Amino acid sequence: MWRITRTMMKRDARMMMPAGLAIVIGTIFMCLTLLFGNVANASMRREISMDAGHANYAVTSRRDQDQPILLDEFNGKGLSKLRGVSGLRPDVDLMVDTEANGQSSKGILAIVGARQELMPIDLDRGQWPDSDDQVVLPHSVANRLQAGLGDKVRLHLSSAMLPGGDSDSAQDSSSKERLVDQGTVDLTISGISKSHGGKYDDFGGAVVLTGTRIDRLLSMAGMVGLESPPVGNIYLQVDGQGKELQNTLQNISRYVPDGYRLEDRRAMEDRLLSEQTGNVVNFMTVFLMTFGVLAMVVAALVIANTFQIMVARQRRYLALLRVIGADRWQIRAGVLQQALLLGVISSLVGILLAMGLMGLAGCLGLHSGTMKLELLLTPTALLVPFVLGVLATLVAAFGSTRTAIRVRPLEALQPVDHQESGSRKRTGLLISILLAASGLVFVIWSSWRVTELVRTNSGNTVQASNQQELLLGLAVLGVLLIFLGALIGARRWIPALLCCLGRLVSKIGPSCRVGVANIARNPSRVAATGVALLIGVTLVSTLATGAVTAKRTLFKDIDQRYSVDIEISGQGLNKRNVRAIERVEGVADAELVQRFNAKVESGGPSQASMTVYALDASRIRRVLHADLGPGMQRSDALLVSTRTISKHSGYRDGSQLKLSIADPQADDEREKEADARRTLTGVFAGFGGLNNSGVYAITDSRNVAGIDTKTHEIWIRTQGDRDAALLLDDIRQAVGEHDDMAMSGGLTQMRTWSETIDSLLAIMVALLGVAVIIALIGVSNTLMMSVLERRRETATLRAIGMSSVQVRRSLGVEACMIALGASLAGIVLGTLFGWIGAYQVFVPLGSVTFTVPWSTFALILPVALLAAVAASVLPAREAVKVSPIEALSDD
């Protein structure tokens, strides 16, 4: 039977190529996903264990350890003298200040020097310090100090590290200055360091000192005994293997302090990966694998269609096998053997291609963010795609075995032009209707319930959020049931839809009539192909509809929450910047606004903090999107935002608020005491989105006259529909460089959300593109089957005068009809599903703005039609090769 199976596969090899290609693409995607997961896992491990350098063991503190061991308590010398311990570095971080050439750099991380293998930073040039009077500086610090190798640098511990570092009293400040003077040393720069990741990135490296020098610095600063710094981890380089390694580890265990443990690097990375990332790599891999499984499902539909046609073509051969003694189980085994061979070969090809692609990416030095792509093989990355590819092929072909074992021996005596039976069971239709109806009930009830939940929300946001998540899950279940019902009933409604479209198309010409007739001839095969394309288009349409509805709803909510389009904060902002901004295209108005910190002394919650913005009353309305009411008619009005205070906050509309107002940048005690007091009338007004730190208010700048402030903001009102990213970039260039400059406001929020949603949509549509490509292979496969199955019919058409162009055109019409019908149905279903999901998620924000992504749909239909035409090229080329003489052949 195996020999017969191979012979039949060779005969139908061309027919099975599209099915094999579908499995190859699905396997490539799944294998690349797992290989990418390996790269992400390895990159994450390197990132979280960067501080360990290349240490192979570490003594780490337990999570329940409240009191870490202090440096003075750690017996590092005894541990380093153990046989088998070739290197040791305690993880102690110090903060130091440096000075050279009249320049200074403060608050730099300093670490203990050790062997290169244990260092968490790299040496850019020079050498590590081998004497106590040498130091290694980060590259950025050396540039700031204008110092190089061999130059002298003055160094001392930062005052924040010294005993009493948190105190601001004059006595403690004087004591700290004395300790700093005592602990100041002059060192020679022996090397320049650079960071390769981890916590030293912000410093561009780290200051490296010898262990003895650090001990002396701590001793001179009085940081000994209980004042010495804590030790986080101890990183070790342990040599040896086997029994020798076990003896070394046992000796090390004797030096492990209470509350600490000895771990190898792998165990430490596993623990840190679980604690710090929450298995985000596994989640990302599972997320991507979901799309891989979807691609396999679509591939299975293509395979099932292929085997159905293949069994139909082999009916006479199968009947002959029955005549010569083959039983039903042998026939079934023969079909499954073909599927097994196809699945194994296709899966292996897909895995090899995926390995080649990832290896090529590594050779080219490609990277994704901070991850450098490389080929990292694991059994899971190879076995999972292989097993799933083979299983998908076997499961897809299993349905065809039922048709194969029903072949009667008598069919060997007569030519068979197999067509579908006209009698169809109503069970599938009934199941599809029940599923769709159940899903519709779930969707309607969950939508009504979430609306009532938002309307009657009593303030228990946690409980409401939990209920909303349950209702969202119920709505998703309803959508899945509706979609599943649509897929099960596709053999009924897809041919009916194509029949309706065909009535219009068939009037165009004879080629169109032939193409429409070919679709009506075998509706089951056409429905199976349409389902494959329907899945991809529906999911893409759902994502596009949900994304555009989310953007419109969020933008509407942001417009209501943010009264200022763009808010710029930073040091040194002035009117010159305002004039430069006003010249930017898309800016309607810009104003320089004073900002003060205030405390309530009376008339409201005592000593409550408040941010007060001051601007001429006539200009406030020019930059603010808000209905301020009659509040600004009072000269002493203080407009308090109603969006930042609760009903029981202690503020009252119209109350006299006595405020203590000061400059936010006042850092000297004398400056803070020189603040001014004003009594203003608090008036509630509906504006918001100005400050995320608490209660804020706006007043006329005349009410704060005489109070100096160095803190200003620029408020901008925009006009027109210019692209937000370009507008913000132009404004940033107009303002120039300022310390601590930040841009916020409604427009920046819109840009952030828009970029986030667009990025997610692009990623997910790209992932779904794999399934769509496989579905288009299914369209080509269906057309090829149609050509191979109807060679005599095609020959007859050629004999009666149909040209090769008309034959090609008829196949193109057939492909376009399938693509058009599936795309239209997918767009309708996707739009409804996207609206359902968006409503469930965004109804708490208020009214949901249901939107149709016309631009996306305008792209889907032409792309689907063009792809369908491309899919018909090879089948059409095969069809025009048919000679008219074949119309006279018996088989």
How many helical (H) and strand (E) elements, i.e. helices and strands, does the chain have? 26, 22
Query: What's the pLDDT at 355?
Result: 92
User: pLDDT tens-digit profile of 643-659?
Assistant: 767 654 677 777 788 88
User: pLDDT tens-digit profile of 705-759?
Assistant: 888 777 888 888 888 878 777 888 888 888 876 656 778 888 888 877 777 777 7
- Residue 822 parent element (H or E): helix 804-842
Query: What's the pLDDT at 427?
Result: 74
Task: Determine the average pLDDT of the residues in 23-38.
Answer: 84
User: pLDDT tens-digit profile of 451-505?
Assistant: 888 777 655 555 566 777 788 888 888 888 898 888 888 888 888 888 888 888 8
Query: What's the pLDDT at 671?
Result: 45
- pLDDT of 415 higher than 60: no
- pLDDT of 424 higher than 60: no
Rounded to whole angstroms, the Cα distance separating 630 from 435 reads 58
- pLDDT of 779 higher than 60: yes
CA dist list (Å): 822 to 5, 58, 155, 817: 35, 59, 73, 8
Query: What's the pLDDT at 77?
Result: 74
At 450, list the tokens: 């979430």
User: pLDDT tens-digit profile of 140-151?
Assistant: 888 888 888 999
**Does 126 or 765 have the greater pLDDT score?**
126
Query: What's the pLDDT at 849?
Result: 86
- pLDDT of 160 higher than 80: no
- pLDDT of 346 higher than 70: yes
- pLDDT of 559 higher than 60: yes
**DSSP per-residue codes, 556-570:** HHHHHH-S-SEEEEE
Query: What's the pLDDT at 422?
Result: 46
809 C-beta neighbours (distance < 10 Å), count: 21
Burial 484-496 (b: 16+ CB within 10 A, else e): bbbbbbbbbbbbe
- pLDDT of 82 higher than 50: yes
Rounded to whole angstroms, the Cα distance separating 503 from 526 reads 17
Exposed/middle/buried for residue 269 (C-beta within 10 Å: 0-12, 13-18, 19+): buried
pTM, entire model: 0.65
- Give whichever of 660-669, 732-741, 859-868 has the largest mean pLDDT: 859-868
Query: What's the pLDDT at 414?
Result: 57
Phi, psi (degrees; rounded to nearest 5) at 9: -65, -40
Nearest-10 Cα torsion for 422, 425, 428, 434: 120
Rounded percentage of the chain residues whose pLDDT exceeds 90:
5
Question: Among all chains, which residue has been given the structure tokens 């794999």?
Answer: 770
User: pLDDT tens-digit profile of 241-300?
Assistant: 888 888 888 888 888 877 778 888 888 888 877 766 555 556 566 666 766 776 777 777
Phi, psi (degrees; rounded to nearest 5) at 614: -125, 130
User: pLDDT tens-digit profile of 781-831?
Assistant: 766 666 666 666 777 777 777 777 887 888 788 888 888 888 899 999 989
- pLDDT of 167 higher than 50: no
Exposed/middle/buried for residue 885 (C-beta within 10 Å: 0-12, 13-18, 19+): exposed
Query: What's the pLDDT at 444?
Result: 92
Query: What's the pLDDT at 352?
Result: 94
Query: What's the pLDDT at 567?
Result: 86
User: pLDDT tens-digit profile of 441-451?
Assistant: 999 998 898 88
The region, left, alpha or beta by phi > 0 then psi within -120 to 50, assigned to residue 697 is: beta
The closest of 386, 393, 342 to 30, measured between CA atoms, is 386
Query: What's the pLDDT at 282?
Result: 61
- pLDDT of 551 higher than 90: no
- pLDDT of 204 higher than 70: no
What integer best gives the mean pLDDT of the chain? Answer: 78
Query: What's the pLDDT at 73?
Result: 65
Q: Please give the single-letter amino acid code of residue 726.
A: L
544 C-beta neighbours (distance < 10 Å), count: 24
Confidence of residue 169 (pLDDT cuts 50, 70, 90): very low
Task: Determine the average pLDDT of the residues in 213-219.
Answer: 80
Query: What's the pLDDT at 221?
Result: 67
Query: What's the pLDDT at 674?
Result: 46
178 C-beta neighbours (distance < 10 Å), count: 11
